[in-house]
Amino acid sequence: MLRLVCSFLALCFFCQNSLANDGYRVPDSAIFHSDKKHLWNRLHSVFFVREDNQGNKFGGDLVDPYLWPSTTEFLLKGNSPTKAITLLDEFIKGNGHQLIADPLKRAVLQHDLWSIFDWTTNYDKGLPFGGAISPKTKSKELNDSRKALRSRLSKAINLLALDETEALGLINNYSMAVRSGSDLKKLDKTGSERHFLPSTLLTDNSNWVCVRGSLQGPSAPVHMRYYGGRSPFLVFLNLPGGRSATLKYLNALNKSTAAKFAEATDDVTLPQFPEGTSVALVRKMSVITQSGDILVSPLVQTVQIRVYNQVGKDIKDHNACQTVYKFVLNRKDLFASINGGLKPVKKNSIEGLSLIYSSDYFENERLKPNSSVMKSCIDCHSCGGGTIHSIFTYKQDDWVPEAARMSSNKLRLLPTRIIDEQKKAISWKYKRHDWGLLQGWIETISKS
Ligand code: HEC
């Protein structure tokens, strides 16, 4: 039943709605350098800025480009691939990577181009809520365009690579955000713009316990798949009683879940966490080093937090039940050392690639989103009420095929370590086809 309700909610995100409204900002084109015409700015914009039919521009300084497996025009047909290839050639042939030496900017641009490379290889795989893949994505014409991009993107990615020391030495923008933004620290339940960045999140042995589900592989498997595994997603749980109360709760929950089968009933009431419990999902940025390895940098790209104000099954107002927070990395602020680049998402914003938007709504007007990013949190996470079932890292079954086949007494929420989860995320990425292809291209470059 839960599963049906959740699928229905997901479908409601797409309705007729104008793209050009308050939920979007005009893209900034001076991100890497104050000169808008600087090669790095032009290169970034060619991939990260989209236009609608009326010529309005969207995107720019967003964590992810507006690209989906179903994208069949942008960068693949008409003028846009020619523009992108010309810029990539200018970058490669003119040693464009030497124009900016700052390791932070190099890492960010590399990660951005990596996301485009991965997009060129993942046109035949579905996304959560994406529906069937159209055969239109597989033509020879499109594949030739993708290949032309791949051959150049791989070179640019390789040219921008940092050595391991430089990559590990990138700033810890989360600590910076916590230190610099006093307004970011306080938990504001009532304000229209909600800010909350806890100082002890991402600290080992703190009150925020890093947790994972029972499935093998990386934590947050849905996000890993949606965002291609270039960024590990870490999940945290924090009960009001601190670390020991959180660990005690996890122990009781896991024992009780395991007992479900023994008692031959699914109705065993599971222990519920108390009011004031928080969960967090943190996305970190990986880079590819000069030695060709993936390394998780200290950079945080997004932070999502939900705080439970009410717990229990019978929630009357889901919006009041959980307070939600989201921060996203803004490159320009990051480079200017403003709040570590982490910006709270505005209440009405519909910007950014999100799990709920699985089709290219610039090319398919029918699928324009009408739910704001912050509203969408509750649309999804109200499934399961104010109970442990709304923590999807525990429940998993709606979203991950392997988990759907697993009996419910096998579900778990297990304490883990940040470093172990990051390693799992890297190993997962190493096994993907898109990584194999990138390796192949990079090897070809080094031989030629
Ligand atoms: C389309 C559904 C969907 C939307 C919308 C959504 N989430 Fe989630 N969220 C998930 C899934 C699925 C997971 C489990 C992790 C995974 O498998 O990737 C998750 C995990 C989380 C977690 C880690 C704890 C947990 O429940 O597992 C937090 C915190 C979180 N989301 C917060 C948010 C916030 C804040 C928003 C809004 C800005 C949001 N989510 C929007 C589906 C969604």
pLDDT of residue 333: 95
User: Is the confidence at residue 440, as pLDDT, over 70?
Assistant: yes
- Predicted confidence (pLDDT) per residue in 274-314, tens digit: 999 999 999 999 999 999 999 999 999 999 999 999 998 88
**381 near 356, Cβ under 8 Å?**
no
Q: How confident is the model at residue 22 (pLDDT cuts 50, 70, 90)?
A: low
Distance 292 CA to ligand 1 centre (A): 31
Residue 312 main-chain phi, psi, to 5 deg:
120, 170
pTM for the full predicted model: 0.93
How far apart, in whole angstroms, are the C-alpha atoms of residue 169 and residue 165? 6
Lowest mean per-residue pLDDT among 302-311, 336-345, 403-412, 430-439: 403-412
Write down the mean pLDDT value for the chain. 87
**134 near 101, Cβ under 8 Å?**
no
pLDDT of residue 346: 86
Sign of CA dihedral 401, 224, 283, 353: negative
What type of residue sits at position 257? T
- Closest CA to ligand 1's atom 1: 356
**334-369: b (≥16 Cβ within 10 Å) or e:** bbeebbbbbbbbbeebbbbbbbbbbbbbbbeeebbb
Distance set, CA 19 to CA 51, 55, 178, 362 (Å) = 10, 11, 33, 9
Residues with C-beta less than 6 Å from any ligand 1 atom: 10, 220-223, 235, 279-281, 304-306, 324, 326, 355-356, 373-374, 376-377, 379-381, 391-393, 399
User: Is the confidence at residue 16, as pLDDT, over 60?
Assistant: no
Residue 343 main-chain phi, psi, to 5 deg:
-115, 135
Nearest alpha-carbon partner for 369 in 68, 92, 41, 38: 68
3-state class (DSSP) for residue 35: coil
3-state class (DSSP) for residue 20: coil
**Candidate from 3, 304, 402, 424 with most ligand 1 atoms within 8 A of CB, to mutate:** 304
Distance 103 CA to ligand 1 centre (A): 31
Indicate the pairing of strand 233-238 with strand 278-288: antiparallel
Largest CA distance in the chain: 69
Indicate the pairing of strand 322-329 with strand 294-308: antiparallel
Distance 164 CA to ligand 1 centre (A): 31
Distance 397 CA to ligand 1 centre (A): 14
- Closest CA to ligand 1's atom 34: 377
- Closest CA to ligand 1's atom 39: 377
Q: Which atom of ligand 1 is nearest to the CA of 129?
A: 1
How far apart, in whole angstroms, are the C-alpha atoms of residue 430 and residue 426? 6
- Closest CA to ligand 1's atom 11: 392
Q: Which atom of ligand 1 is nearest to the CA of 10?
A: 1
Nearest alpha-carbon partner for 175 in 207, 210, 211, 200: 200
Residue 414 main-chain phi, psi, to 5 deg:
-110, 135
Alpha helices in 277-351 (DSSP H): 318-321, 331-335
Nearest alpha-carbon partner for 392 in 9, 3, 8, 64: 3
Distance 223 CA to ligand 1 centre (A): 8
Which residue in the block uniquely carries the two structure tokens 């007729």?
Answer: 16
**220 near 235, Cβ under 8 Å?**
yes
Which residue in the block uniquely carries the two structure tokens 């690579």?
Answer: 161
Looking at residue 230, the DSSP 8-state letter turns out to be S
3-state class (DSSP) for residue 197: coil
Read off the pLDDT of each residue in 228-248 and give the average, rounded to a whole number.
Answer: 97
User: Is the confidence at residue 192, as pLDDT, over 60?
Assistant: no
State how far Cα 125 lies from the chain centre.
Answer: 18
Q: How confident is the model at residue 186 (pLDDT cuts 50, 70, 90)?
A: low
- Predicted confidence (pLDDT) per residue in 343-380, tens digit: 999 888 888 877 877 788 888 877 777 778 998 999 88
How far apart, in whole angstroms, are the C-alpha atoms of residue 83 and residue 128? 31
Distance 279 CA to ligand 1 centre (A): 10
How far apart, in whole angstroms, are the C-alpha atoms of residue 212 and residue 40? 38
Q: Which atom of ligand 1 is nearest to the CA of 398?
A: 12
How far apart, in whole angstroms, are the C-alpha atoms of residue 160 and residue 329? 20
- CB count within 10 Å of CB 416 equals 17
**Candidate from 381, 382, 398 with most ligand 1 atoms within 8 A of CB, to mutate:** 381
How far apart, in whole angstroms, are the C-alpha atoms of residue 376 and residue 190? 18
- Closest CA to ligand 1's atom 10: 392
How far apart, in whole angstroms, are the C-alpha atoms of residue 305 and residue 276? 12
How far apart, in whole angstroms, are the C-alpha atoms of residue 142 and residue 135? 12
Which residue in the block uniquely carries the two structure tokens 């942008």?
Answer: 74
User: Is the confidence at residue 191, as pLDDT, over 70?
Assistant: no
- Closest CA to ligand 1's atom 9: 392
